[in-house]
Amino acid sequence: MRILHVTQRYLPAVGGAELYLEGVSKRLAADGHDVTVVTTDAWDFELFWNPDARRIPQPEAIIDGVRVLRFPVRHLPLSHWSYPAMRRLLWILASVSAIPSPWLHRLARYTPWTPELFRWFATTQERFDLVAGMTIVFEPLIAAAQQFAWQNQKPFVIYPLTHLGVGQEPGQDPVSRFYTMRHQVELVLNSAFLLAINADEANFYRQRGLSPDRIAVVGPGVNLAELQGGNGSHLRQRYGLKGPIVGMLSTMAYDKGTMHVIEAIRTLWQKGVNVHLILAGSVLEQFRHYWDNLPTTERQRIILLGAIDHQTKLDLLDAIDILVLPSRTDSFGIVFLEAWTYAKPVIAAQAWGVRTVVDHGRDGLLIPFGDVQALAEAIQTLIENPQLRRQMGEAGRHKVLHQHTWDHKYPRIREIYGALAHRGTSTI
């Protein structure tokens, strides 16, 4: 098969979507398929609205047998302001049924603005057997890929990675509505096949009219061999850490719950609980402002690593006693699988999607997003109960070994791709 994958970022940029698509793409390439990834040149996520953020300089590369084509992100004037303003305007207009969806897509093309990528779709003579797009919140890229597939009468597969939020119903809280706008939902419903990342996402689109025979719940996996070799003792010695460690591996941002984690740890310190906190991941501007306003004595007690390399991640996973990611903007959480591989319990937010990954009370704990007191109590419960930590960590590891390795996930994706490519634009 000749396969085209379209997404907002690709390696060496790192994130959940990036790791997911890399896992699929490189395995297809290893099986002898011709895989091309079309993406932007964003290294830092903030490049979509911040012209000063890092770019990946190479416009074309071969990574693990996958051809990667990168197109530059362009910016409108005052992009720090105009990008979020246009996303909010889209949200408002999408709620007005009288406004046609094509109008919404025209406005969305500037968030992010990648004119050279659109030009490639319009002019390339390359042909593919199947086109797939990932991440619905970057709908201009998804729309361009879907249109390209239609024009060439090829099937289009979508991985929306829909953040369904923490509301009473999926897609109903303020943040998740930016992932479930009318024109975004239509892109999913008009796709040949939905590869849902979790059962909540599958149900969300099924309730909106997508036929069950065009849906499969697969989700990402992990490669156990790639996660071996963590040396927690080395990391503990480097920073002089004794006692329990709470770790967070994520983009540092409010929606990820980073500030809530710090506030929970501060609460425990005030109670005399001995606990260390290590934060690893890209630092967004909003978090930097919060961090700079923390008391110096407390900043000195927190280890803020920022973006880390793979070996440091493995050392951190081995060193920590608890992984926390109380996020309202995750559709799955690959880092949960990575922590469970090291038999570590996890704490997550009670968010749609994530609740299907973390089994509360068995392999982790779920707390309401933003509830600092509940988060502090959950951390303290696990700190004070080593046996419970071990039981939850082992339950998580058992889940990974039997459900969430790429050996379990990839064959189903390959089967779906093959069936769709064989039947052309028809569905399975």
Per-residue model confidence as pLDDT tens digits over 21-31: 999 999 999 99
The pLDDT of residue 243 is above 70: yes
pLDDT at 376 over 70: yes
Question: What is the model's pLDDT at position 32?
Answer: 97
Q: Please say whether the dihedral angle defined by the alpha carbons of residues 26, 67, 184 and 92, taken in this order, is positive or negative.
A: positive
Please state, in angstroms and rounded to a whole number, the distance separating the CA atoms of residues 240 and 194.
48
Task: Name the pLDDT band for 428 (thresholds 50, 70, 90).
Answer: very low
Give the strand order in the sheet containing 346-349: 302-306, 276-280, 245-249, 322-325, 346-349, 364-367
Cα–Cα distance, 231 to 223 (Å, whole number): 18
- Domains, the chain, in order of start with CATH, read 2-221+405-423 (3.40.50.2000), 225-403 (3.40.50.2000)
H or E stretch at 34: strand 34-40
- pLDDT the model gives residue 427: 44
Residues 6+ apart with CB under 8 A from 254: 286, 287, 290
pLDDT band at 365 (very low <50, low <70, confident <90, very high): very high
| CA–CA gap between residue 361 and residue 213 (Å, rounded) | 33
> Distance between CA atoms of 193 and 203, rounded to whole angstroms?
14
**Is the pLDDT reported for residue 157 higher than 60?**
yes
What would the pLDDT profile of 182-234 be if each residue is shown by its tens digit?
A: 999 999 999 999 999 999 999 999 999 999 999 999 999 999 999 999 999 99
The model's confidence at residue 425, banded by pLDDT at 50, 70 and 90, is low
Q: What is the mean pLDDT of the chain?
A: 96
- Structure confidence at residue 423 (pLDDT): 82
Question: Which tokens sit at 124?
Answer: 């390339």
Bigger pLDDT: 284 vs 10 = 10
